[in-house]
Amino acid sequence: MSNNTNNTSTKVSTTDVKNTSKLKTKLTGKYKGGTATNKTETYAAGASNQYAKLVTSAAKKYGLYNHVKGHKGWYLYNKKDGWANAKKSGIVYVDERATATSGKWYRIRFSSSTSARKYWVRAGALKFDKITYETYDKTLTTLKKYPIYTLVFNDPKLAKNKGTTADLSSRTVTITKRARRVSVINGKTSTYYLVNGKYWTRALAFY
């Protein structure tokens, strides 16, 4: 992966591109869907270019599913259809989370392409960026166009994209919080501001 840790999709290395080519649309296994056993299921979607990193030995400890376990029609992928497609970097793209009777889950892809096969995996299989917060009172003027989100990009709760700083009603905004996000990829830190108590954006939008 590249060192790009801002709000855009990360570039993939030559190795990852070769690995992505393994993502066949046709399944090698024959699967029988399980019965619905979850009493409750709640879902929350987020921006599709957010990412996380697989924990060590994730493929040995966790399964990959077509849906959260306990949802009607769920099944467990075999190795060829599942973990064999993972990147050596361990980076996965995350676009949805779920809380069900069977546990906490994330929907992931092994490619930045939103058309790539999607898998559901238990939350314990993923490691997200470390994010810390502090009070930060400023009145600033936007100088550059950056995406705005409901949460800090790559927050485990998954941020939703709400446009760009150009969509704000005024270029002059009130900042009340500052967040520092340490990338799970390379350890680099990105700074975010909470704008008008509603949206998060990169601090670079103001400098």
Every domain of the chain and the residues it spans: 14-127, 130-206
- Residue closest to 108 by CA, chosen among 42, 155, 48: 48
Q: What is the pTM of this model?
A: 0.87
Across all residues in the chain, what is the average pLDDT? 91
Fold classified for 130-206 = SH3 type barrels. (2.30.30)
Residue 147 pLDDT > 50 = yes
Percent of the chain with pLDDT over 90: 87
Q: Quick check: helix, strand or coil at residue 147?
A: strand
